[in-house]
Amino acid sequence: MGEIEIIHSIRKFNRNYVRSIGLLEKTFLNTGYSLTESHILYIVKEEGKTTATDINKVLHLDEGYLSRIIKKLISNSILIKEKSQADKRVFKISLTEKGIKEQQKLDELSSCSIAGIISHLSQGQQEELAQSFNKIMRLLYGQ
Amino acid sequence: MGEIEIIHSIRKFNRNYVRSIGLLEKTFLNTGYSLTESHILYIVKEEGKTTATDINKVLHLDEGYLSRIIKKLISNSILIKEKSQADKRVFKISLTEKGIKEQQKLDELSSCSIAGIISHLSQGQQEELAQSFNKIMRLLYGQ
DNA sequence: AAAAATACTTGATATAAGCAAGTAATTAGT
DNA sequence: ACTAATTACTTGCTTATATCAAGTATTTTT
Helix (H, G, I), strand (E, B) or coil at A80: strand
Which residue lies nearest C27, CA-to-C1' measured? A87
Q: How far is CA A44 from the centre of its chain?
A: 11
CB A76 within 8 A of CB A96: no
DSSP state letter for B50: B
Q: Is the Cβ atom of B63 within 7 Å of strand D at any atom?
A: yes
With the C-alpha atoms ordered B62, B67, B70, B71, is the resulting torsion angle positive or negative?
negative
Helix (H, G, I), strand (E, B) or coil at A79: strand
- Taking 90 as the threshold, does the pLDDT of residue B136 lie above it? yes
Containing B35, the helix (H) or strand (E) segment is helix B35-47
Q: Which of residues 11-70 of B touch strand C (CB under 7 A)?
A: 22, 26, 51-53, 63-64, 66-68, 70
Q: Outline where chain B has alpha helix (H).
A: 3-29, 35-47, 52-59, 63-75, 97-118, 123-141
HEC-encoded secondary structure of A19-73: HHHHHHHHHHHCCCCCHHHHHHHHHHHHHCCECHHHHHHHHCCCHHHHHHHHHHH
How far apart CA B137 and CA A13 sit, in angstroms, is 6
Q: CA of A31 to nearest chain B CA: how many angstroms apart?
A: 18
CB B118 within 8 A of CB B129: yes
Nucleotide nearest to B28 (CA to C1'): D16
* Contact between chains at A21 and B24 (C-beta distance less than 8 A): no
CB B38 within 8 A of CB A18: no
Chunked into runs of 10 residues, chain A (143 residues) has average pLDDT values of 95 94 89 96 97 97 98 98 97 98 96 94 97 97 88
Average pLDDT over residues B51-63: 97
How far apart CA B7 and CA B80 sit, in angstroms, is 45
Q: Is the Cβ atom of B21 within 7 Å of strand D at any atom?
A: no
* Contact between chains at A13 and B60 (C-beta distance less than 8 A): no
Interior angle at CA A122, CA A26 and CA B1, nearest 5: 90
Q: How far is the CA of B60 from the C1' of C1 (A)?
A: 35
Average pLDDT over residues B3-18: 95
Give residue limits of the domains in chain A.
31-141
Interior angle at CA B29, CA B59 and CA A136, nearest 5: 65
Query: How sure is the predictor about B29, in pLDDT bands with cuts at 50, 70 and 90?
Result: confident
Give the model confidence (pLDDT) of B68-127 as tens digits: 999 999 999 999 999 999 999 999 999 999 999 999 999 999 999 999 999 999 999 999
Nucleotide nearest to A93 (CA to C1'): D9
Q: Is the Cβ atom of A87 within 7 Å of strand C at any atom?
A: yes
DSSP state letter for B81: E
Given 3.20.20.140, 3.30.420.40, 1.10.10.10, 3.40.1550.10, which CATH number is that of A31-141? Answer: 1.10.10.10
Query: How sure is the predictor about B30, in pLDDT bands with cuts at 50, 70 and 90?
Result: confident
